[in-house]
Amino acid sequence: MIASLVATLLTVSLCAFAQSDEPATPTVRPGQWAQPIDTHYNLYEITPTLYRSRQPDAAAQPLLQKLGVVTVVDFIKESDSKWLSDPSVTQVQIPLQTVHVDDADMIRSLRAIETAQEKGPVLIHCKHGLDRTGLVAAMYRIVVQGWSKQAALDEMEYGGFGDADDLRHGIAYIHKVDVDALKTALNSGACSTSAFAGCAIKGWFQKTDVVGVQTILWRL
């Protein structure tokens, strides 16, 4: 009887120990995390000038107007013109695939957000407001706001935006990304952290017209 009791207690202790290494979902939502606004649209406020959501529809326009959104950044292939009819709202389309995302994609996305924020609040979205939006939001936290990778990952995975299993490619990118190199490229105006990225290679050539003849100049 005593041996059985000891074995049971030991099993419970081992299970508790094994689970202790896994981060727990906070019972109270941290105040610095994105705060929910509308669950139907998976709409959250990241900062007073940055929001995230799933793909909106025409019925969402009054809500976006109330939030003062003046730019919508779309990370999917479908244009926002299908639902967004307000001509005062700027549309920016940057199709992403988290399985293939690279530093050039991230710099372009973050630069678009920062540029748009100069004019007012920005909404970023993808199809479900989870993987692509979640990755860009986490990288905004890290690169622009100075959060640690772990702090941004905690919000990304446990913030209630959707099934965390769908975030694995974005999580892998965050773990391997060189944050300092990304910040340097973003601040310098470079299109990537690599001089051999596709966008950088295009910059090695410049087409000009000299007396009506198109010339290609090597720019190294």
pLDDT tens figures, 103-142: 999 999 999 999 999 999 999 999 999 999 999 999 999 9
Average pLDDT of the chain to the nearest whole number:
86
Domain assignments of the chain as residue spans, ordered by start = 26-189, 194-220
Mean pLDDT throughout 32-44? 98
Using pLDDT thresholds of 50, 70 and 90, give the confidence band for residue 218: very low
State the Cα–Cα distance between residues 144 and 57, nearest whole angstrom.
29
Alpha-carbon distance values, 79 to 43, 109, 117, 213 (Å)? 19, 16, 21, 37
Instruction: State the CB neighbour count (10 A cutoff) for residue 151.
Output: 17
CA distances from 68 to 56, 62, 133 (A): 15, 10, 20
Q: Is the confidence at residue 145, as pLDDT, over 50?
A: yes
In angstroms, the CA 113 to CA 123 distance is: 9
34, pLDDT greater than 90: yes
d(CA 133, CA 169): 13
Fold classification of 26-189 (topology level):
Protein-Tyrosine Phosphatase; Chain A (3.90.190)
Q: Would you call 184 helix, strand, or coil by DSSP?
A: helix
Mean pLDDT of 63-87: 97
- Whether 8 has a pLDDT exceeding 80, the answer reads no
What is the pLDDT averaged over residues 59-80? 97
Least confident of 13-27, 90-104, 117-131, 192-206: 13-27
CA distance linking residue 98 with residue 84, whole number of Å: 25
Q: At what angle do helices 131-139 and 103-117 cross, to 10 degrees?
A: 70
Q: Say yes or no to pLDDT of 67 above 60.
A: yes
CA distances from 16 to 11, 19, 21, 94 (A): 9, 5, 9, 44
The pLDDT value recorded for residue 204 is: 58
Looking at residue 23, its pLDDT comes to 54
Q: What is the pLDDT of residue 4?
A: 52
Task: Compute the distance between CA of residue 62 and CA of residue 152 in angstroms, rounded to an integer.
Answer: 30
Pick from 101, 107, 104: which is nearest to 195 by CA?
A: 104
Q: Of the spans 2-6, 18-22, 148-152, 207-211, which averages the highest pLDDT? A: 148-152
Can you give the pLDDT at residue 205? 60
Give the separation between CA 218 and CA 220, rounded to whole angstroms.
Answer: 6
Would you state the pLDDT for residue 196? Answer: 82
Mean pLDDT of 71-77: 97
Q: Which of the four pLDDT bands, split at 50, 70 and 90, describes residue 201?
A: confident
- The pLDDT score that the predictor gives to residue 203 is 62
